[in-house]
Amino acid sequence: MKASVSGASLYSTAMTEKKNYTTCILETTPLKSEELQSGGHDDEMKRRIALCIEVEGPITRALLQKRILNSFGLFRAGWRLEDHFDEVLNSFSRQLEIEEGVEVYHPASGHAAPFFRPSTKDIRFSHQIPPSEGAAAIKAALEEDGGRLKKAELYRCFLAQLGYSKSGSDLQQLFNKSLAYAVSKGLIKRTSKGLLTVQGL
């Protein structure tokens, strides 16, 4: 699948919003793996996928798959079901962006401003946060802390924005991908003194 949206098309001039995470509520329809991958439930899968992207997007492919399969009473996906899920997801290719190697689906309705949602373990884990959302948290950290920070300082503020009190390898990886994404999209730039700042300051 190829990226075809400019993802968060995040805007360096818009102030970043902090939002609560809203989980998509899907009805539970218990099915066997063989039943779901038969093709007879594709329209219902697409309906649930579209709803989940609209409510929870931007959402990583991994979390999206988890949400949809769990709604059918499935908690593991063999390679046949993985392949079938990919086939169904092809219908949403225009909402897909590859963000620093992570497949992320964005709502068709788009967003008026960059935003991020502090994480809670019962909803999603750090590796399920899209880089575009992490980039928005980085931008928010810079907006709150005077606009110029060293990378190590920015990382600490990034963790605070997302609600983490401790670091870890997954969070460091998320930060690095989010920072790379923010720079590539023109949200963040490096000054001649090696500081990181919001574009336009």
Query: Could you report the per-residue pLDDT of 98-139, keeping only the tens digit for each?
Result: 999 999 999 988 765 789 999 777 789 999 999 999 999 999
Assess whether 69 and 132 both reside in one domain.
Answer: no
Distance (Å, whole) CA 35 – CA 27: 17
Assess whether 83 and 124 both reside in one domain.
Answer: no
Domain-terminating residue out of 78, 105, 132: 105
Assess whether 58 and 125 both reside in one domain.
Answer: no
Assess whether 76 and 129 both reside in one domain.
Answer: no
Distance (Å, whole) CA 194 – CA 190: 6
What local confidence, expressed as pLDDT, does residue 114 receive?
A: 83
Assess whether 82 and 145 both reside in one domain.
Answer: no
Domain-terminating residue out of 105, 129, 157: 105
Assess whether 169 and 93 both reside in one domain.
Answer: no
Assess whether 96 and 176 both reside in one domain.
Answer: no
Average pLDDT over the chain reads 89
Q: Give me 10's structure tokens.
A: 């995040």
- If one compares 146 and 193, the residue with the highest pLDDT of the two is 193
Helices 42-56 and 61-71, packing angle to 10 deg: 130
Helix (H) or strand (E) holding 98, with range, is strand 96-99
Assess whether 130 and 184 both reside in one domain.
Answer: yes
What local confidence, expressed as pLDDT, does residue 112 receive?
A: 59
**39 falls within a domain:** yes
Beta bridge partners of 105: 59, 96
Domain of 148 in residue numbering reads as 118-198
Beta bridge partners of 115: 17
Distance (Å, whole) CA 31 – CA 22: 26
Cα angle for residues 161, 107, 183 (degrees, 5° grid):
50
Residue 200 has pLDDT above 70, yes or no: no
Assess whether 188 and 131 both reside in one domain.
Answer: yes
- If one compares 150 and 7, the residue with the highest pLDDT of the two is 150
With cut-offs at 50, 70 and 90, classify the pLDDT of residue 182: very high
With cut-offs at 50, 70 and 90, classify the pLDDT of residue 82: very high
**126 falls within a domain:** yes
With cut-offs at 50, 70 and 90, classify the pLDDT of residue 8: very low
Split into its structural domains, the chain has a count of 2
**8 falls within a domain:** no
pTM to 2 decimal places: 0.88
**4 falls within a domain:** no
- If one compares 94 and 111, the residue with the highest pLDDT of the two is 94
Q: How far is CA 50 from CA 6, 72, 136, 151, 177, in A?
A: 18, 15, 23, 37, 26
> Tell me, what CATH number does 156's domain have?
1.10.10
